[in-house]
Amino acid sequence: MTGPEGDRFHGWWEVKAVDEPRRLDFVDGFADETGTPNSEMPTTTTRVDFEDREGGSRMTIHSSFDSAEEMERMLEMGMREGMQEALGQIEGVLADDR
C-alpha cells in the first residue's frame, strides 16, 4: 500500500474461508518489505459479504480485533480514513476492464 505522501506499507493476508461469490473471511496484518509478519502490530479479522440487490450488489465489511485497545490503535493509525479512501476507489476498479 502506498500512502498519500508516498510512504509504502507492507502487509499479509491469511484467507480463512471463501464461499464464492457470497463471502470472504481473512486475517490481515502488517509486514516488513519481505512479507515477514510484524508481530508487534495488531491484526484484523475481516468478513466480507456480498449480496445481490435490486439494481446492483451490496458489499458489507465486518472487521474485528483481539481487543478494544488494538482497535483503538488501528483507528489512531488511520484505519478509518484508509478504508474510506480504498472503498472510494472501488467503482473505478470494477470499471477497469483489464
What CATH code is carried by the domain that includes residue 59? 3.30.530.20
Task: Judge whether 1 lies within some domain.
Answer: no
Per-residue model confidence (pLDDT) at position 21:
92
Structural domain that includes position 88: 10-95
Q: How far apart are CA 18 and CA 23, in angstroms?
A: 6
* Residue 16 included in any domain: yes
Does the bond joining 21 to the residue before it have cis omega, within 30 degrees of 0?
Answer: yes
- Name, in order, each residue with C-beta under 8 angstroms of 20's C-beta and a sequence gap of 6 or more: none
Mean pLDDT, contiguous 10-residue spans, the chain (98 residues): 80 96 96 93 96 92 96 92 87 76
With beta carbons less than 8 A apart as the criterion, state whether 24 and 16 touch: no
Looking at residue 91, its pLDDT comes to: 83
What pLDDT, on a 0 to 100 scale, did the predictor assign at position 2?
74
**Residue 56 pairs with which residues in a beta bridge?**
53
Q: Does residue 56 sit within a domain? A: yes
The per-residue pLDDT for 93 is 80
Residue 36 lies in a domain: yes
User: What integer pLDDT is reported at residue 36 of this predicted model?
Assistant: 94
